[in-house]
């Protein structure tokens, strides 16, 4: 039985991280929100959004592509968490928890990418059936004696 999107553990983890970041950023002042806050929030939301997009795709290559986008957004989020920590926008325990959760999410996402790729390798490829080759389709001789005589008199 297929699992519902909302039941995916990797998506639940992504949502928890995004909501936690939103909660932290909402307390910042206007300048901090407009600069770092909007970037980190968008990156964190993009992780879950790309996982959901991948879930809705039919072909494993499409799914893989969006899971890779999610992983890219994860690394972007980790970058912004580090920037928020260095700029004293986040307390070290909050940044540490987010970093640990992002690492856990990266492992989950890599596992999902691996499963998706394995499913793709199992997928059957469509191949054309080669046409039958034999003397029953083509005439016995492609060239008769007059064709060969003509060809032998052509200049080099």
Which token pair is 82? 């580090």
As for how many domains the chain has, the answer is: 1
pLDDT at 142 over 80: no
Q: How many residues does the chain have?
A: 156
Residue 109 lies inside a defined structural domain of this protein:
yes
pLDDT tens digits for range 78-92? 999 999 999 999 999
Q: Which CATH number fits the domain that encloses residue 109?
A: 1.20.1440.60
Q: What is the mean pLDDT of residues 101-116?
A: 93
Which token pair is 13? 């983890």
Residue 82 lies inside a defined structural domain of this protein:
yes
Banded pLDDT at 57 (limits 50, 70, 90): confident
Residue 107 lies inside a defined structural domain of this protein:
yes
Contact (Cβ atoms closer than 8 angstroms) between residue 76 and residue 105: no
Residue 132 lies inside a defined structural domain of this protein:
no
**Per-residue pLDDT at 1:** 35
pTM of the model: 0.75
As a whole number of angstroms, the distance between CA 156 and CA 141 comes to 24
Residue 16 lies inside a defined structural domain of this protein:
yes
**Per-residue pLDDT at 90:** 96
pLDDT at 131 over 80: no
Banded pLDDT at 143 (limits 50, 70, 90): low
Look up the domain containing 114 and give its range. 5-122
pLDDT tens digits for range 8-49? 899 999 999 999 999 999 999 999 999 999 999 999 999 999
């Amino acid at each position: 039985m297929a699992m519902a999107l909302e039941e995916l553990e990797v998506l639940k983890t992504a949502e928890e991280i995004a909501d936690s970041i939103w909660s932290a950023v909402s307390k910042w002042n206007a300048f901090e929100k407009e600069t770092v806050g909007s970037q980190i929030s968008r990156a964190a939301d993009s992780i879950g959004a790309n996982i959901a997009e991948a879930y809705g795709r039919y072909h494993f290559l499409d799914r893989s592509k969006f899971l890779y986008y999610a992983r890219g957004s994860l690394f972007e989020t980790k970058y912004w968490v580090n920037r928020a920590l260095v700029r004293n926008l986040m307390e070290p325990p909050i940044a540490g928890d987010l970093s640990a959760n992002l690492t856990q999410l990266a492992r989950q996402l890599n596992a999902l990418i691996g499963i998706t790729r394995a499913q793709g390798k199992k997928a059957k490829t469509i191949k054309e059936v080669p046409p039958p080759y034999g003397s029953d389709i083509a005439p016995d001789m492609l060239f008769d004696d007059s064709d060969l005589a003509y060809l032998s008199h052509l200049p080099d």
